[in-house]
Each structure stands twice: as C-alpha cells, then as structure tokens.
A and B are shown apart, each in its own frame.
Chain A
C-alpha cells in the first residue's frame, strides 16, 4: 500500500500541468475591469519602482530582488503543488493573486521610502546633544534636535513644580508602585486565604490612598474651614447616618469591632490630618504649579476616581424603577403652578414685550405643562430617573472643551464671594462631573447585562433593594464593566490633553510652553512626536490590558 501511494505521488508531482491560456483567461481577462485594473496597477508599480530606484538604488534593488525571489518560490510551489512552510505563507498572505503581488511590491517600496524619510529625519540628520538645541545651531538640512527632550525633562515630567517639593512626587510614585506590587502578590489565589490581615490592611491603604496622595501632592493647610470642629461633628453625623441606613436595611451586621471602626474612623482621620498639618512636613503646593506628565496623570486619575461614585449613582438612578409620583399629584400641582404663573407674571411681561419673541416668552408657564407631560410620559413620574437621565444626556451632548471653559469662567460665580477657586481645581472637578456621565452609561451597560433572573432571584429570597444591589447586582455588574472602564480611562487619559487649551500646563500645555522658550524655540515636531509617543504607550498598554482582561473575565461569553 505504501508503495502504491509512493508511485502515485511520484507519477503526479513532477509533471507540471500548466495551461498558460487558461491562466490568462482566469486571472487577467476574466472581466474587462480586472484587465484595466491590472494594467493601471502594473504601470503604477513600474513607474514607482523606477522613481524609487533613482532616489535610492540599493534598497530598491534589494526589495525588488526579494520580491522576485518570493514570487518565484510561490509560482514554483503552485506549479508543483508542493509548498514549503514559507512559500505557503507567502502565497496566502502576500502573493494571493496578480494584483495582490503587485500591491505587495508597491506597498513594500512605499513603506521603505517612508521609513527612509523617518530614519533620515530622526537619526541620520538628527542631533542628540541637549546643549545645541537653540535655533542658531540649526541649519536647513538638520533633522530632529532630540536634545530638547533631555534638556526639558524637568518641565516635561513635573512642569514648574518647585524642586523642594519634587521628593513628594517621587514619594507618591513609589507609594503607588509599591502598593501595586505588594497587592499583585497578596491578591494571588494561593496567598489570598493565608494572609488575610495583610489583605485587609492593603484594602484599607487602597481606600485611603486618594487621601495620602492628596496630602503628598497638594499638601496640608494648618488653618482653613476644613479644620473647624464643625467639620468633625458634621462628618461624624454623616458617617453614623450611613451606618444607620445600612444597618436598618440589613446590609451590614452589627458587630462591636466593625461598629467601633465606623465610629472612630472619622475622628481618627481628622486627628491624623490635624497632626500632619501641624508637623508642616507637607506644606501646601500651589496647584497652578502642577505640570507636565504629573498633571496629565493627576487629571486622568482624579477624573476617573472622583467620577466613580457619581457615575454609579447616576447609572442606578437612571435605571431606578421606584414607583413615580402619581399623575394625580403631578398634574394638579403643574396646572396650579401654570395658572398662577399665567395670572401673575404673563400680563406684566406681555405689556412690556417689545417684540414677538418676548410676547412668546411671556407665556413661559405653558412650558411647565409640556415638561410635566414629558416627565409623566417618559419617566412615569420617577424623579430620580428623570434627573439622572437629563444629567447624563445633557453632559454627553456638549463638548468637553466647552465644559472646561465653563468651569474656568463660571466656577467663581458658584462660590461665596471672596472664595478663590484655582483654575486647576475647577478643571479637575468639571472633568470629573463630565466623566461621570460617560461612566454612568458604561455602568448602565453592565447593569443591563445582568440577566433578569438575578434580580428576580434576589427578590424571591426576600432581599431588599439595598441588599440586592450590594450583594447580587453591583458585584457582577461592576466586574463586567471593568474593560469598559479601562476604555473610558484611555479616553480620559487622551482627553486630559484638552486642559492645555484652557491654559493649564499638562503634558501638551507644557510642550507648547517649551516651544516658546528661546533655547528650544520652534522645536514643535520633536516635542509633539515625543508627547504622542508617551500618550501612545500609555493608551496602547491599557487597551492591550483591557483586551486581555476581557478574555479573562469572559465578558460577552456565557
């Protein structure tokens, strides 16, 4: 049997069966537009190859020879019906048809030309010495002056932050890196159960990390409204109220240890805060001095972390199924208010109206009826859902840049007179409020992905709303949206560059400032490329991570 197959293969394989006319009929003259296309493509390729040969003979020749060699190997493989691994791959992915082969050559030459240009600009003609970046050292033929990046490294990383405070940036960096590394080990499955106390400590440190980072990066003020006794009492009341609610709704069980933690957490924090402020180890940093990559990170991390509570609340609010205010309450109230408005305000406005538009505006109370109709029709009287939906849709409907400008222009108007709000804080808060709307939509997606059965099962075993959310829905929903939140974080990381437009010095803002410095005048391309590379590395790493996470969490796979 073995011999028969051998003879069979021997008898068929060496014979080359190739009908040239058939080949032409199939691959060239199959239709008139194929012929025309091939003609145009081959002419283009030849012209381009000749042009490239004139510019750079050696590389063009090498590419063309490699191309011809691969083509021959593919053709031989095809004719003999016997491919090597390499020639099969070449056939499948580069030399599938005549036009594919031509496109391969054309693109290879084009890529080569582009790479040559980049190489020429970035390496061959470039200078790397930070001391010769000023305009007088540049000639029309010099390429990139990469020295600027080393020369301006301080500005690019931390902006105009005083050197005295640099250690605090390093401390925060090491704090985060150290915490992440320890957590990466402590949360591993085998260690997870064995060192429970360490895990609890770590969780607490993570919870407190925003505060620690705030102390490190923004500093503490020994005086100020936040340190009054009022703050202590108010905070304690809020904490106890939350505990009471959770206990009432049976989300937490009463235990002396946990109760003690709840009661003493706030005073302890408050005390620690005061003591830290008294040591004057962490004087207040002027937030306008934050800059460079540091500020980019502050903006993006702050926006994502600060928007999280509001985002989750908005998502839950939008999906809330609380029975709304019934129509028999809303309509009488609305009609009453409208009538009152029509009788008290409209006649006066009508009398004073100067044009038709103002006459129309005089009938503003009718708008109440319209809003009431929409409120009852779309939200069935549910105030929470209506408020959340309107917030989300309005914020998502306007551009971020207008929100940031609005924060800077209008923030002073919302605070009591004499209260100075720094631009950086205004932008941070506005950015978080903006991000919250997008985060809410992501979380809502997660909530929607939970099968209805989960809600029904939770209802069936008699859980109340808070318990249902805390123990059944949110753990699943939030886990499902982690990839989406990483995606949102990428967006926030990129969009944080917009703060440069409102005059803050993040990575891009400081870049624009560096360009204006006489020493580095006009080195735009280098700095923009550098900034893009930094953003690219960050975003690309995160998106790869999110893709891996997606497969690991099995999102969308059931």
Chain B
C-alpha cells in the first residue's frame, strides 16, 4: 500500500520540491547575490561616506556659502585660474572649470579623430605592404610591426617627445625637408594650411552643388549602364563635372567678393595693388622684379612693403599669397585690435593696412583726415594657402602643431597602425584565392575585382577588430598627461589638484570616456551590421 501511494502516476509528473527547483534556486541565488553585493557596498560606501565627511563640507559648498550635497558640482562654474597650453576655442584663466573641461574634451576628440584617420591610412598601407611580393618591403614592414607592437606605447611617446622632438634644432636652424614650406623645430611642426576667407561661404554653395551634380550623374550613368549594358566611366565624368562646377564657383566668388581691402595714403600713389611693384622697384633700383633674387636679404628687407594686419586674420593670408605670387618682398606688422593697427598706420609705421573693407571704413572714419586715405578693394580667393614663414625667432603663418600634440599624434598613429596592419593583412588573406580567380574568370578588371569582390569580404573580417583598435586609440590618448598635452584627463587632473574635488571629477571623466566608447562602438556596430554577411 505504501508502495502504491508513493509511486508517481503517469498523468501527474512528480512535483519537484522547491529546494531543488532550478527556477526557485535561481531566483534565491540572485537575491543572495544582491544581498552580498549590497552588504559589501554598504561597508565600502560607509567608509567612503565617513571619509568624505571628514574631508569636510567644503566639498559641497554652494555659491551662497551654505553646504549641500546638491552643490557638489557648483565649484565647476567658478573661475578655473589655470592656463591650458593649447585649445581649439579661446580659453582664458577667468573661464570656468566646466569650460576648461570642455576644452579638454575637444582636445581629446581632436587627437582621436585625426589619429583615427591617419592610423587607418598608415595601417592599411602597412598591411598591404606586408603582403608585398618584394621580400625587402614585406620584411621591413614585418619588423616595423613587431618592434612597435612589442614595446610599450608610453616609452614610444617619451622617446618621441623628449629624444626626437625636443632635440630638434631651434627655430633659427629649422629643418625644412626637401625645402618645402614645412618647418620642424623644437617648438613643434609648422605646415602649410588652407585658410578660409569670408567668400568661402559663396564657394561652399558651389561645392555642395558639385557634390549633388556628381551624385546625379553617378546615378544617371549607372542607370544607363544597366539599361544599355555598356560600361561607362562614371567616376571620370562625375569628377569632371564636379571640377567644372568648382572652377566656375571659384571665379564667381573671386569676382563677386569685395570683402578684402587695403588702406593707403593718397600720397603713396598706390591706386591698385599692382602699384606696389613700382614702389619696390624704385626702392631697390632694379628694373625688373626678377632681379630681386640677386639682392641680399638686408637689401630686400629694407625695400619690403610694410603691412599692418590683425593677428591671425584671413586678410593676411590672402594678401600674402598674392604678394608672394607677384614676388614682392613684404613684412607684416601684427596687432591684436583694429585701433592699434590704425594708430600704427597713422604714425606711418606701415604703408598699408590690410583688413576686411568694413573694418577699414570704420577705422578710416576715426582718423584725423579721412579723405587723405584711400580704401582699395583687393581680390579675395575663397581658400588661401597659408604657408608658414620664419620671422626672426618665430614662425608665422601656417598650421602650428605643438611638440606635445605632434608627439602624441605621431605616437598614437604609429602604435595603432602596427595593430591595424595585422588586422588588414589577416582580412585580405581571409578572402580565398578562388574569389579572385572567379572574378577574373567573370571578366572583371582589377578595380572591379577589388571593389566588388575582395573588399566587401575582407571588410567583414576587418571591421570588428578595427573598432576595438579605434577605441584603444581614443583611450590611449589619455597618456597625453605624461607628455603634457592638455587632453580631457590632463585638464581634469589639474582641476582635481586645484579644487581638491577628486570624486566629482573622476565621475564626470569616467562618464565622458564611457560615452565616447559607447558612441564609437555603436556607430561601428551599425556599419558592421551593414557589411556583415547576411546569413539565412
């Protein structure tokens, strides 16, 4: 009877006792887990709260002088009182900590974005070169990759910064590779950089138009190609139309603009920009500008046209590029404010005052006898090539890369490129030879093979590890603090030292880095899901 009662019936499966029910055990286990974590957190956070309490209420001081936890971040709005050696926007010591923090984020983003672009190029190049059939090339690249990958980034950065860049010659003996307008000195790197003038906005409209036209042509020609079966040079025609529109836009914006002007005295007999030529000729006593090359530097400096400009203004780059084309020696006298430049012009320190016409008109009105001065319009190009030039102990013009930025950028780019090279190499090798052969058998040419067969398959393998390399580069940019580049962490660390609010800052910094990482990986995951193999 006992047996009969304990035997489970077929219809009703035996009830599992709750202490052996996986579902119950799972929930109970998790609740235990929560409790354990909670208790541990309570102990640690209890210590934490006590210690913060000992740090004093000063951590939470409000602007009205009272204390409240709500005011933990109030200090961030007060004056930072420290300098940041290089910023993208204007930063003064009187700006707030928040603004300093923002500058740090911008600097980190600057390094990360430029670094990612350059390292992708270098890494891809190295990865392809690694597969070269020239034994010498592939071995050089192999050892480049091995050496870079197997030494710490921090040592590379220190080496680049202290042993390479800071031991470059001073400005007076700047290195100019191949005599290009590139200046390598211990104060950093100066390179030519396009400078945008106000009329750029006009030209930009044409650029947009050109891009649209390129797209339209691309689509139309593609349709025709599909329709007739004749391959057409879509890229060639598209680019041609793009260039034509761009050129038209250039002439229109140069002709239509009257933004730039120069102010000269009536007595100078300059009635248009070309007239400065004769002035220089009479000063030097030569018959033709080409003969200026025979003169010594002192003679040229004595004859140079002296021009007053505002510091970092596009007018300077614009005028300078035109005068350089005309081979006219000139020097610039830079002022911070228009009225300073005007007074210099009035004193006769400079013969020409170059600035936007509106500024000139306003400034002329402030002069004692406005009518004795003329304002002439100068041709303005939408984009002017701003080249660096040595002036005494400084290098003026161009884009300046500070030693810290250069070291950090080059270090990160080189380091990450070694990893990317291996990724690219593996990606290309992952496409089986049969794919190339099959494509060739179909009659695709080399660019079609690369574009339609090899790359889409290789990218599938390349993208995921590439994403983590981009993230690594962004995170590694925090090593900037070791060489003194004011990135996000470096600025925050200064803030911590100055304000004594470690916790607040560390929370914000961590959140910022997390956000950056999450955004980057989200974008690249989206891209990855587009190129990924769609399986059944």
> Which A residues contact B (CB, under 8 angstroms)?
92-94, 96, 100, 103-104, 107-108, 111, 322-326, 329, 349, 352, 358, 382-384, 387, 394, 396-402, 405-406, 409-410, 412-417, 490, 494-495, 497-498, 500-501, 508, 512, 524-525, 528-529, 531-532, 535-536, 539-540, 543
Contact = CB atoms under 8 A, between A and B. Distances in A.
A104 B479 contact: no
Nearest to B510: A398
Given A394-B514, A402-B506, A104 B134 contact: yes
Contacts, number: 159
A528 B496 CA distance: 30
A352 B30 CA distance: 38
A115 to B, nearest CB: 12
Contact of A322 (B29, B136, B502): B29
Nearest to A105: B136
A40 to B, nearest CB: 14
Interface string B94-137: 00000000000000000000000000000000000000011111
B47 A96 contact: no
B514 A497 contact: no
Interface in B21-53: 22-23, 26-27, 29-31, 33-34, 37, 44, 47-48, 50-52
A401 B493 CA distance: 11
Given A96-B133, A107-B137, A358-B70, 13 more contacts: A323-B23, A325-B27, A349-B70, A398-B510, A399-B513, A401-B478, A402-B510, A406-B506, A495-B152, A508-B155, A524-B159, A532-B156, A540-B150
A535 B506 CA distance: 31
B153 interface: yes
6 contacts: A92-B133, A323-B27, A399-B476, A406-B510, A416-B50, A494-B152
A532 B510 contact: no
A524 to B, nearest CB: 5
B193 interface: no
B479 A401 contact: yes
Contact of A531 (B26, B52, B155, B478): B155
Given A402-B506, A410-B506, A508-B155, A324 B137 contact: no
B162 interface: yes
A401 B481 contact: yes
A196 B514 CA distance: 51
A349 B47 CA distance: 26
Nearest to B166: A524
Nearest to B159: A528
B109 to A, nearest CB: 14
A482 B151 CA distance: 22
A494 B151 contact: yes
Contacts of A540: 146, 150
A525 B136 CA distance: 28
B5 to A, nearest CB: 27
Nearest to B489: A402
B518 interface: yes
B58 interface: no
Contacts of A406: 506, 510
A494 B475 contact: no
A414 B47 contact: yes
A292 B291 CA distance: 65
A528 B47 CA distance: 42
B54 interface: yes
B196 interface: no
B163 interface: yes
Contacts of B133: 92-93, 96, 100
B398 to A, nearest CB: 26
B235 interface: no
Nearest to B158: A528
Interface in B377-397: none
Which applies to chain A's interface (DSSP): helix, strand, loop or mixed? Answer: helix
Contacts of A396: 517
Q: Which of A324, A410, A497 has the most B CB atoms < 10 Å from its CB?
A: A497
Interface in B464-490: 475-476, 478-479, 481-482, 489
A397 B496 CA distance: 21
B502 A409 contact: yes
Nearest to B140: A107
B54 A96 contact: no
B26 A94 contact: no
Interface in B139-187: 140, 146-147, 149-156, 158-159, 162-163
A415 B51 CA distance: 8
Contacts of A543: 149-150
Nearest to B151: A532
Ranked 8 nearest A-B pairs via Cβ = A93-B135, A539-B150, A397-B517, A399-B475, A399-B478, A322-B26, A497-B152, A494-B152
A499 to B, nearest CB: 10
B178 to A, nearest CB: 11
Contacts of A494: 150-153
Contacts of B475: 398-400
A384 B33 contact: yes
A535 B152 contact: yes
B384 to A, nearest CB: 29
Q: Which of A323, A400, A500, A540 has the most B CB atoms < 10 Å from its CB?
A: A323
A326 B28 CA distance: 12
Contacts of A322: 26, 29-30
Contacts of B70: 349, 352, 358
Q: Which of B26, B50, B509, B518 has the most A CB atoms < 10 Å from its CB?
A: B26
Q: Which of B31, B51, B54 has the most A CB atoms < 10 Å from its CB?
A: B51
B496 A409 contact: yes
B50 A417 contact: yes
A240 to B, nearest CB: 18
B438 interface: no
Contact of A417 (B54, B479, B509): B54
Contacts of B159: 524-525, 528-529, 532
B523 interface: no
A406 B478 CA distance: 13
A460 to B, nearest CB: 16
Nearest to A408: B502
A97 B151 CA distance: 36
Contact of B163 (A93, A103, A525, A539): A525
B81 interface: no
Nearest to A100: B134
Contacts of B134: 93-94, 96, 100, 103-104
Contacts of A402: 478, 489, 506, 509-510, 513
Contacts of B155: 497, 508, 528, 531-532, 535
Contacts of A358: 70
A414 B502 CA distance: 13
B359 interface: no
Contacts of B37: 387
B503 A410 contact: yes
A497 to B, nearest CB: 4
B431 to A, nearest CB: 18
A409 B52 CA distance: 12
Q: Which of B34, B133, B150, B514 has the most A CB atoms < 10 Å from its CB?
A: B150
Contacts of A92: 133
Contacts of B489: 399, 401-402, 405
Nearest to B146: A540
A508 B54 CA distance: 36
Contact of B162 (A352, A398, A524): A524
A532 B518 CA distance: 33
A325 to B, nearest CB: 6
Given A108-B136, A322-B26, A414-B44, A500 B154 contact: yes
B141 to A, nearest CB: 11
Nearest to A321: B26
A387 B493 CA distance: 29
A179 B231 CA distance: 71
A91 B70 CA distance: 76
